Structure 1
């Protein structure tokens, strides 16, 4: 059953009780990476293996993950080639009280450095599980960055 989460703002990325951050490099320029993140919503399942569906909505998107968890998200920041951030407003994932994700982009040579921050709060069990999942989430992020880089190289 979907639940409403706390409505957080962009500063939650710096103040959340649990913050996980991962950095990767892509050979594509920031504008191509930003477009894949922010405007080609339906393509996420092609490169982010944990996402099985992503559908744009007027305020953001809805996302479904492997295992069936659903998220209704609102975009908080859409700064082309620099930042794409969104919060989850509603989910059926257990234990979560607040969730924000931010993708920061920076040019590096002809490519892009991307930093994905997951800022969240929830029950004690949820926070512990997320901290323990840090290495697995890092692997998933690195795989997603490699897959996105391959996808953008073909474009």
Structure 2
């Protein structure tokens, strides 16, 4: 059964009742990572293991995403600020317990002067009843592993791809 979630704005990233933040380092540039996140939406299943289908909708203003196991999302892109930020909110889903969900990917050049690459930060901001928030807290280690594996896989994929000029 598909349910409509509460629409939230970017300010929800800071005020969400459940907020998970993960970081990882990638060798790829912020520009290359941003292209993979925001412009090659259909490529997500090739590097993010939890994703079985991803495609843009509404001329790129939204996305349809399916996860392995059958969870489905219809999303609205709220920020597409290449090459530094990509954020989207879930509008409808078949996942139980969710009231609101917003995800943000932040990309920043590595801080060290002789350390090329990108610091990737993924924020998962959600709201739901207390049992959902407890389950999300328990899922934190698995979500973190999934994120770090996805970033490593994407980084490897980008390193192997012919460079775009």
SS in 1 for 2:108: strand
Q: CA deviation at 1:10?
A: 0.5
Q: Distance in 1 between matches of 2:105 and 2:128?
A: 21
Query: After TM superposition, where is structure 1 displaced by more than 6 Å over at least 4 residues in a row?
Result: none
Aligned to 1:9: 9
Is 1:28 the counterpart of 2:28? The answer is yes
The TM-score normalised by the length of structure 2 is: 0.92
Task: Tell me which structure has the larger Cα radius of gyration.
Answer: 2
Aligned to 1:18: 18
Aligned to 2:119: 113
Is 1:42 the counterpart of 2:42? The answer is yes
Q: CA deviation at 1:67?
A: 0.8
Aligned to 1:146: 152
In the alignment, structure 2 segments of 5+ residues that lack a partner are none
In the alignment, structure 1 segments of 5+ residues that lack a partner are none
Aligned to 1:77: 79
SS in 1 for 2:69: coil
**Structure 1 or 2: more strand by fraction:** 1
Q: CA deviation at 1:101?
A: 0.1
Q: CA deviation at 1:106?
A: 0.2
User: CA offsets per residue over residues 74-129 of structure 1, 9 Å max, x none?
Assistant: 00001001100000000000000000000000011421101000000012111110
